[in-house]
A and B are shown apart, each in its own frame.
Chain A
């Protein structure tokens, strides 16, 4: 009798344990903390949360939305205190630092065992794994951002030039830029092209020429010949060909407004500026997007592209539910209006739906973005300390950005700029990779 009651107790205990463990992702009365850096999609995030909560009774997701600068300061403080939210937005620019510091959960097993790989562009996950530099998947991407050539179709028509396509060479581009530059009474009325030292404006050409800025093995700034060729080509467009303005000449404009204001006929920047273009251009002129022209050493198979992620706290008490929410917030929960018309959802059913192409709006060639994510090898130049050496955000006039601006503004020669970049950037990288 005694033995029987012992066995019964053990069975009850086992049953209790099993039910506790199996609760996992379906546990009741769970509150998840979700931090977002993007106030422009707060409403959409709230809708995602409402859907998720409806599908998961007993689960509550508390959303905190902060502006980017404030977001990173507060998130770092929380990480330092071991109080990270269960799930939070993560940038490609910071992923390596956070992954190596152990403040993002290793999602390798979750992704291998519990992610429908048919519904996600797995190459975007691989880019994240490479950026993290740990050989592990440390975040789940919800969007890919890439760069494209924006061009003004009306200006092309007026100049009698065929629209750019994937076969365009740099020579074709330069010739078109020359034809599109209009000078009247000694003053440039219309520029063929616009760029400055910004990362999207420069690295796009470097990768299109099969170049690299950073030696990822030694973590040193070592632009190869193809990268130098690309930077020289760009700087010459301003200093020799005079088909693009110096940075100092465009002081009246926000950089993203030069093309939509009709000041320049072509511009290479992030695909997320489609939204801004639509707002400013309206019906004033026809425009479209094309691939960044392939350089003399490029193979046409590479594009500049990096994901925006969600990451999970390594110490979350609700990690199973947080993973479930991460899949939802990157997958079936998202809507097309969260992507600024130009970010590419990593969730295939959304990207490959007719809604993504927005056939009734400009640009007509939006399908190009799908080609970028489906067919190209995606490259980036992210390292630790990237914003410092590259010159980004409030430091955008410093770093490599500032040096390229100085070259095109006539403050230094190309060779002087490259030497300065080599010394300054390697001093910075040396600090981060001791």
Chain B
């Protein structure tokens, strides 16, 4: 019966089916990627004819102290974000991985910031954190403490924005971890209990190792996600104060679409791409040391 239905099948059919996707990828992904590489060697500003400038944009990038600070900001933001979402996402998943009345409500509640507009989140948090009128500083004043310039202090601002991004996105990683936890067979946990393992031992010796494929996936997604930190910075700090929250993505936006320095912005994009690629490759190299598959 099945054989009859697939009588039209030929070896080349899958390749034909793939053509629309491949064309789409070539035109809308690979094309712009290569185009951007070419642009990074020019002084394109969308107005005057572009001229070839060789490595001038890359040279300018590395000689510019504010770019070095921007790159450092990006990695610091990434570190806080990746650690934050992984710890908080896993913690929430562990707490919510149970059958209890109303658990669906809590899962939805923790997930809701993920689907809330980042600009709206940024505006609301700016109010909460604002000096003079912000509820957080009013709370500190009530406790007899000095007000803190959460977004106005260059030593604090980047961490604050990164933590808000962690708050916003943890629900997404919670869902990924929840899916991973559901995949761990109950029989293994039960066997560990029979063997006399306590809760802590079960978490570190059973749950975490068996969750490692999910953790690996989450780590990679979180790292890539951490570099896409535009909206909150746009809504809350616009790269300030004193360049303290300017990150590579925001720098690309400013140079590309405000100053129309598309050549330079493309060079920064390629630096960012190289950073993400290197980190991802390192992750895959070390993967076999700690990722354990069940099957």
* With A247-B152, A251-B149, A252-B132 as contacts: A398 and B126 at CB distance below 8 Å: no
Compute how far the CA of A423 lies from the CA of B185 in the bound complex, rounded to whole angstroms.
63
Is A279 close to B, CB under 8 A?
Answer: no
User: A residues within 8 A CB of B129?
Assistant: 251
Tell me whether A252 and B258 are in contact (CB under 8 A): no
- The interface-forming segment of B18-26, B71-79, B168-176, B236-244 is B236-244
Query: Which of A80, A398, A405 contacts B254, CB < 8 Å?
Result: A398
Is B234 close to A, CB under 8 A?
Answer: yes
User: B residues within 8 A CB of A225?
Assistant: none
Is A429 close to B, CB under 8 A?
Answer: no
Tell me whether B243 and A402 are in contact (CB under 8 A): yes
Number of interface residues of A (CB under 8 A): 34
Compute how far the CA of A252 lies from the CA of B129 in the bound complex, rounded to whole angstroms.
8
Tell me whether B47 and A398 are in contact (CB under 8 A): no
Tell me whether B246 and A398 are in contact (CB under 8 A): yes
Which B residues, 69 to 123, have Cβ-Cβ distances below 8 Å to chain A?
none
User: A residues within 8 A CB of B134?
Assistant: 251-252
User: A residues within 8 A CB of B253?
Assistant: 394
* With A101-B47, A103-B47, A251-B129 as contacts: A76 and B241 at CB distance below 8 Å: no
Contacts between the two chains (Cβ within 8 Å), count: 95
- The interface-forming segment of A22-30, A32-40, A302-310, A385-393 is A385-393
User: B residues within 8 A CB of A398?
Assistant: 66, 239-240, 243, 246, 254
Chain B interface size band reads: 20 to 34
Which A residues, 47 to 82, have Cβ-Cβ distances below 8 Å to chain B?
69, 72-73, 76-77, 79-80
Q: Using CB atoms, name the residue of chain A closest to B237.
A: A397
User: A residues within 8 A CB of B154?
Assistant: 411
11 additional A-B pairs beyond A252-B133, A394-B254, beta carbons within 8 Å, are: A69-B257, A73-B46, A101-B48, A248-B153, A395-B238, A395-B254, A397-B241, A397-B242, A402-B240, A402-B241, A406-B241
Q: List 19 A-B contacts (CB under 8 A).
A: A69-B257, A76-B47, A97-B47, A248-B152, A248-B153, A249-B132, A251-B131, A251-B134, A251-B151, A252-B134, A387-B259, A394-B253, A395-B239, A397-B238, A398-B66, A398-B239, A398-B254, A402-B243, A409-B152
**Residues of chain A at the chain B interface (Cβ within 8 Å):** 69, 72-73, 76-77, 79-80, 97-98, 101, 103, 246-252, 385, 387-388, 393-398, 402, 405-406, 409, 411-412, 424
